[in-house]
Chains A and B, each alone.
Chain A
Amino acid sequence: MTMATTQSAQQAKDIAIADLPARRSLPLQLLSILLKSPVGVAGSLIVTAVVLLAFVGPLISPHDPLNRNIRSRFKPPGFVDQSGKVYSLGNDQLGRDILSRIIAGSRVSVLVGVISVLISGTIGVIYGLISGFVGGILDSVLMRIVDGLLSIPFIILVIAISGVVGAGLSTLILILGFTGWITYARVIRGEVLKVREMDYVMAAYALGQSRPKVMFMHILPNVVASAIVLAAVQVGVTILAESSLSFLGLGVKPPTVTWGLMLSDGRQYINSAWWMTLYPGIAITITVLGVVFLGDWLRDFLDPNVRGRA
């Protein structure tokens, strides 16, 4: 394990050095490294596309995602109405265009994915940082709490909380944000324990820097890479959790459009209108796949230490 890790770390270093012509700016360097990895390219293309859709969706949406039309209910994909408008992915039970609704739904996925993960990442990193840095009894107590919380399956915990607290987009974002941090705490603590013993930390102490300064200026920057890798994974987990909750009626409520709610509608008409179920699911799968790919690439790029598992 250690040998494989050192080897892969060395390889990664070699690649990184070989790939970095000295004169280019950092973004260009990153781009040239990214372009060498098909997985990284695919992941970043998908993620960029989804984020773009979330921002400029209304501009390119073929129809109004909320516009009902009783006469074109349950029309199959490729339906063309009297005025010649095309509904390429078909219509739902209220005659709303599925493609436009998928475009509109990207906004919730991006919002939930990004904001929840920012909240949970911040809490988790600070928690892990304090636990690992302070150590001693506080560390044992904080880690036992994490063990306890980890033994409640994530989605079940979220379901129970949102069932009691109630549904809605902002509530859901908060719930996912305030439960997701548990994943980070343990990993970040482990990283802190490693970094804490490094020579440069000793040097910082020797120079007379205060403990908080060492913690935030010297240790934190060196565990951020692991946090980013974890965050990428968590974005996927969070998007899936949002869709499950909305599907169960415990997440986002209509008229907000989300892929999970679209699937919940689709389920009711599963005998007749398969397209209501097929396409929103594909949208979720592609989005999460993009995030997973990007996360895999980030892990290889940022964090050669975790690579043993690749």
Chain B
Amino acid sequence: MGVSLRGFFISRMIQLVVTMFIVSVVVFFILRLSGDPILVVAPDFFSEEQIEQMRKFWGFDRPIGEQYLNFVAKAITGNFGTSYLAKRPAMELVFERLGYSWMLAAAAAAIGLTIAIPLGILSALKRNSFVDLIITSLSSLGTAMPSFWLGLMLIIVFSVHLGLLPVFGALEPKAIILPSATLGVGMAARLSRMTRSAMLEVLNQDYVRTAHSKGLMHKTVVMRHALRNALIPIVTVFGLQLGWLLGGSVVVESVFSWPGLGRLMIDSISVRDNTVVQAGLLFFSLSFILINYAIDVIYIILDPRIKFQ
């Protein structure tokens, strides 16, 4: 771990800060897209004067630049303002739900990887065979399917007809099965395609041919030489698909009434509780950025070609 590795971390940190700055600008201005944010929350019977007072109270009478700086200054200390509806800090509401969202995303990612990696490898090894055709077709089908619809169909089969699993909420441990399977299948469809291409690329490399010509067993070549190298692009793609997973979870949480951050956001949108929407949006992006940052670091550590002096 020399100077360059530290340099790498520092440059990535700077990038992280820049990215967060842009996200914060977007999040801040989204609230202003509707025009006057006060009119959105002020009850109809308020007089001009009362609205003016409210505007002052929330700081909406200040110049826009100042408002943004205030927003950032507060956000850095974890203060996103008070929920108009719950009359509690938006941050508190977000933290209550964050755990559920992470739990769901982790379960879905685990399901996705467990299905996608073996199928992707099989598909690549049996390229252009009947098995490959079946796997790639299923993967296309899974990509084309709206995740929330798959969730609804699972509810019809497993809850309505078979009565095996609960439909709503997170009251019992097995309630996570349907929502995580819904997202996991979508994730698997996307990842298996990537695993297949990563594997195919690696199988064409000279070192794999060398390993074969050394007389190594096919299985050894695949597991030791090919898969280990294919894992690197798979890890990267996994990070990119996390955006899909987080986005999909917002809709799927609503289908299953899973008490995560996504459902909090949707509920807050419908009652125009914009501080919570802002905080939710920022936290989703932050999770996405941090996980991808972690993946970048893992990638650098995994890939022996990148050497630090």
Residues of A that sit less than 8 Å from B by CB: 1, 3-4, 144-145, 147-157, 159-161, 163-166, 236, 240, 243-244, 247-250, 263, 266-267, 270-271, 274, 277-278, 280-281, 284-286, 288-289, 291-293, 308-310
Expressed in whole angstroms, the minimum distance between the Cβ of B245 and any Cβ of chain A is 8
Question: Is B76 interfacial (CB-CB < 8 Å)?
Answer: no
Closest 3 CB pairs of A and B: A148-B22, A163-B269, A155-B247
CB neighbours (8 Å) of A310 from chain B are 197
Q: Bound complex: CA of A263 vs CA of B251, how far in Å?
A: 13
Chain B residue with the shortest CB-CB distance to A245: B251
B residues near A271, Cβ cutoff 8 Å? 160
Contact across chains for A159 and B201 when beta carbons are under 8 A apart: no
A277 to B157, CA, bound (A): 12
Interface residues on B, range: 35 or more
Say which residue of A148, A280, A289 sits within 8 Å of B19 (CB atoms): A148
Interface centre among B20, B146, B197, B201 (most CB of A within 10 A): B146
Q: Which chain A residues lie closer than 8 Å to B247 at the CB level?
A: 153-156
Across-interface contacts of A277 in B (CB, < 8 A): 149, 152-153, 156
Interface of A is mostly: helix
Query: Is B79 among interface residues, defined by CB-CB distance under 8 A?
Result: no
**Interface-located stretch among B29-37, B63-71, B296-304:** B29-37
CB distance from A228 to the nearest CB of B (A): 19
Q: Which of A248, A278, A286, A309 contacts B251 (CB 8 A)?
A: A248
Q: Is the CB of A153 within 8 A of B246?
A: yes
Task: Answer whether A270 and B251 are a contact pair too, CB < 8 Å, given A281-B145, A285-B141.
Answer: no
Flag B113-151 by CB within 8 Å of A: 1 or 0 each.
Answer: 000000000000000000000000000110111101110
* Min distance, Cβ A159 to any Cβ of chain B, angstroms: 6
Q: Is B248 an interface residue, CB under 8 A from the partner?
A: yes
**Which of B42-50, B53-61, B88-96, B277-285 contacts its partner?**
B277-285
Q: Is the interface of B mostly helix, strand, loop or mixed?
A: helix
B309 to chain A, nearest CB (A): 26
**B191 beta carbon closer than 8 Å to chain A:** no
CA distance A3 to B280 in the complex (A): 45
Contact between B153 and A278, CB atoms less than 8 A apart: yes
Residue of B nearest to A249 (CB): B270
Q: Do A164 and B141 have beta carbons less than 8 Å apart?
A: no
Q: Find out whether the CB atom of B18 lies under 8 angstroms from the CB atom of A285.
A: no
- A-B CB contact pairs (8 Å), 6 listed: A151-B289, A153-B284, A157-B281, A164-B30, A267-B152, A285-B141
CA A281 to CA B152, docked complex, whole Å:
9
Decide: A160 near B269, CB < 8 A? Known: A148-B22, A149-B26, A278-B153.
Answer: yes
Do B19 and A154 have beta carbons less than 8 Å apart?
no
Contact A289 B140 (CB under 8 A): yes
CA distance A292 to B139 in the complex (A): 11
- Within the complex, what minimum Cβ distance (angstroms) separates A171 from chain B? 11
Are A153 and B251 in contact, with the CB atoms below 8 A? no
Beyond the given A156-B262, A164-B40, A308-B201, please list 7 additional residue pairs across the A-B interface where CB-CB is below 8 A.
A1-B201, A144-B18, A151-B23, A153-B285, A156-B281, A248-B254, A289-B141
In angstroms, Cα B49 to Cα A182, docked, is: 42
The one of A145, A263, A274, A285 that contacts B148, using a Cβ cutoff of 8 Å: A263
